[in-house]
Amino acid sequence: MLKEFKAFALKGNVMDLAVAVIIGAAFGKIVTSLVNDLLMPLIGLLPGGKNFSGLELPLGEGDAVLKYGIFIQSVVDFIIVSFSIFLFIKLLSRFKRKEEAQPTLPLLPSNEEVLLTEIRDLLKQQNQSTDN
């Protein structure tokens, strides 16, 4: 069972997935910083410099509070994160298309391959002349 697990864990797909998760987590931190540190202060200026997460509405005379600002903040975060990921994937696909569009030159045989081909052809000629 240990050998099977080792074979499974070291397969290319599993390793690719692990790398993708690590890169995704790092990218998530970048996007979170973009949202929290750069975009939200600018967007927060729209309602008079207030932070969305502080918006709330007391309900009744008890301690119940409707914290709709946190919901608005979460929706804005989601939209910005989704758009950022969309742009990142679009950028990656553009690079991929450029790589695919580049024509590949046919590989010319090396000097060694040419020499070996000539030797092979000479040997074939010798065998045919001795067979006749």
- Digit-coded pLDDT (tens) for 74-127: 887 788 778 877 887 888 888 887 777 767 667 788 889 989 999 999 999 988
Q: pTM surpassing 0.85?
A: no
Residue 49 pLDDT more than 70? no
Q: How far apart are CA 18 and CA 9, in angstroms?
A: 10
Query: In angstroms, rounded to a whole number, what is the distance separating the alpha carbons of residues 23 and 25?
Result: 5
- Count other C-beta atoms under 10 Å from residue 31's C-beta: 19
CA-nearest of 26, 30, 53 to 41 is 53
Residue tagged 């995704």 (tokens): 24
What's the Cα-to-Cα distance from 84 to each of 12, 17, 37, rounded to whole Å? 28, 21, 15
CATH of domain 2-131: 1.10.1200.120
pLDDT at 47 over 70: no
Residue pLDDT, tens place only, 50-89: 567 778 888 888 788 888 888 887 887 788 778 877 887 8
Q: Give the separation between CA 38 and CA 45, rounded to whole angstroms.
A: 12
C-alpha–C-alpha distance, residues 24 and 113, integer Å: 45
